[in-house]
């Protein structure tokens, strides 16, 4: 059973029992007032209308008749206000004077209508909001193409998304999948769409439209989970680029066999950076600068322009590190590089701005 929910809402459907799994899709939107606070305000307004009606009746109690004892006290006034505003109308207390009847026409009847609007309006608003959100979700699914799916929004996943977005990827083109509602709430608060659920399940990944994704980032906490996610994702999308992170280097070959195009060993990478910083603090600072995308020196992949065709690697204006030719990555000093070809791509070190676009062809999603 699936419940569709948009971001900004605090209410989250809970599991009815251990065997019932609920997956949610949450889209980013502006933060609205909390539902409980809205309900509390409406209840206060309804109570004010009830109290005001009771006081009006009590001040004009001489114009009313109670069939039980003939007189109307404060309790009778509240009783009359309650049955009148709720349109129950037992008829045991009735206005008898012309003034009391005129007050019922001019004041109490509008208060009755206001009371019903407050109570019924809350239900109508909920139904309208659900319909609008369902329509918005269907619209989002229809427009989503060539997006990025991020499985796991911990430190690794968040850093990966920030790096990709710093190079031009729109936040509307990122879908976060995580089993924790709090983590997904944090992702939607940052402007990303989110899916609550276990990414090893194909139905959860389908909720993230993984079959239409261009690239998939797997940043789970456990290596075995990453392997299962990679297998499932590759089965659903044969053409997507899958990049995964593992803790143990011995699990990297298994992930590649599971369908990952690139595997990053987080523990060994951090260890190598630590060792480099010990041997050469300056070199460590340069590497850290390269890792942080969008500031200082960045590693950028770009296509060869027509003016560079036929040039050598050293003749370009950028500092070229490698040349991507077909499915091979050749070093700048590799003799096979020769001269640059039009279909080559260059991996360079350069200073870039946040507006630098390295992910072309991405369609923007419709805004609300």
CA gap 156, 264 in Å, rounded = 11
Report whether 166 contacts 294 (CB < 8 A): yes
Report whether 7 contacts 185 (CB < 8 A): yes
CA gap 234, 260 in Å, rounded = 8
pLDDT at 363: 36
CA gap 7, 210 in Å, rounded = 20
pLDDT single digits (tens) 331-355: 888 888 888 888 888 888 777 655 5
Of the spans 90-104, 106-120, 192-206, which averages the highest pLDDT? Answer: 192-206
Tell me the H-state helices in the chain: 35-59, 74-85, 98-103, 109-143, 155-166, 181-189, 202-207, 223-236, 252-257, 266-279, 281-291
SS3 79: helix
- pLDDT over 70 at 304, yes or no: yes
| Average pLDDT, integer, range 241-266 | 88
pLDDT single digits (tens) 161-189: 887 887 778 888 899 999 988 988 888 88
CA gap 93, 115 in Å, rounded = 20
Q: What is the largest CA-CA distance in the chain?
A: 110
Buried b (16+ CB within 10 A) or exposed e, 182-192: ebbbbbbebeb
pTM score, whole prediction? 0.57
Higher pLDDT, 39 or 218: 218
- pLDDT over 60 at 72, yes or no: yes
- The DSSP-derived string for 272-314 is HHHHHHHH-HHHHHHHHHHHSTTSSEEEEEEEPPGGGTT--GG
Cα 367 versus chain centre, distance: 14
pLDDT at 29: 57
- pLDDT over 80 at 226, yes or no: yes
Q: Counting beta carbons within 10 angstroms of the beta carbon of residue 54, is it exposed (0 to 12), middle (13 to 18) or buried (19 or more)?
A: buried
Q: How many beta carbons lie within 10 A of that of residue 200, not counting itself?
A: 20
pLDDT at 36: 64
| Average pLDDT, integer, range 281-286 | 77
Beta strands in 326-367 (DSSP E): 328-331, 345-351
Lowest mean pLDDT segment, chosen from 69-73, 202-206, 275-279? 275-279
pLDDT at 160: 85
| Strand duo 345-351 + 319-325: pairing | antiparallel
> What letter would DSSP give residue 107?
I
Report whether 188 contacts 27 (CB < 8 A): yes
Mean pLDDT of the chain: 77
């Amino acid at each position: 059973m699936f419940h569709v929910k948009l971001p900004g809402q605090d209410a989250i459907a809970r599991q009815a029992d251990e065997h019932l799994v609920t997956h949610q899709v949450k889209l980013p939107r502006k933060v609205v007032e909390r539902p409980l606070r809205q309900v509390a305000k409406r209840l206060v307004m309804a109570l004010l209308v009830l109290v005001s009606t009771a006081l009006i009746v009590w001040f004009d109690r001489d114009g009313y008749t109670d069939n039980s004892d003939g007189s109307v006290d404060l309790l009778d006034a509240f009783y009359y206000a309650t049955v009148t505003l709720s349109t129950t109308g037992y008829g045991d207390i009735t206005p008898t004077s012309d003034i009391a009847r005129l007050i019922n026409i001019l004041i109490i009847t509008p208060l009755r209508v206001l009371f019903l609007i407050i109570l019924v309006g809350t239900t109508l608003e909920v139904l309208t909001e659900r319909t609008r959100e369902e329509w918005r979700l269907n619209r989002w699914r229809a427009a989503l193409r060539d997006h990025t799916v991020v499985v796991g929004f911990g430190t690794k996943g968040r850093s990966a998304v920030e790096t990709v977005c710093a190079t031009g990827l729109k936040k509307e083109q990122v879908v976060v999948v995580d089993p924790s509602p709090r983590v997904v709430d944090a992702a939607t608060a940052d402007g990303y769409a989110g899916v609550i659920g276990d990414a090893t399940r194909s139905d959860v990944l389908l909720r993230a439209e993984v079959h239409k994704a261009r690239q998939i980032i797997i940043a789970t906490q456990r290596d075995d989970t990453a392997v299962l996610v990679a297998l499932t994702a590759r089965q659903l999308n044969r053409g997507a680029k899958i990049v995964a992170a593992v803790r143990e280097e011995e699990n990297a070959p298994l992930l590649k066999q599971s369908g990952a195009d690139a595997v990053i060993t987080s523990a060994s990478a951090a260890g190598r950076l630590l060792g480099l910083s010990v041997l050469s603090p300056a070199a460590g600072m340069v590497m850290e600068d390269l890792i942080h995308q969008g500031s200082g020196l960045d590693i950028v992949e770009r296509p060869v322009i027509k003016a560079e065709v036929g040039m050598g690697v050293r003749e370009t204006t950028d500092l070229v590190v490698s040349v991507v030719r077909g499915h091979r990555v050749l070093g700048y000093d590799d003799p096979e590089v020769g001269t640059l070809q039009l279909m080559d791509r260059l991996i360079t070190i350069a200073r870039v701005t946040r507006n630098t676009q390295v992910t072309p062809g991405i369609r923007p999603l419709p805004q609300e």
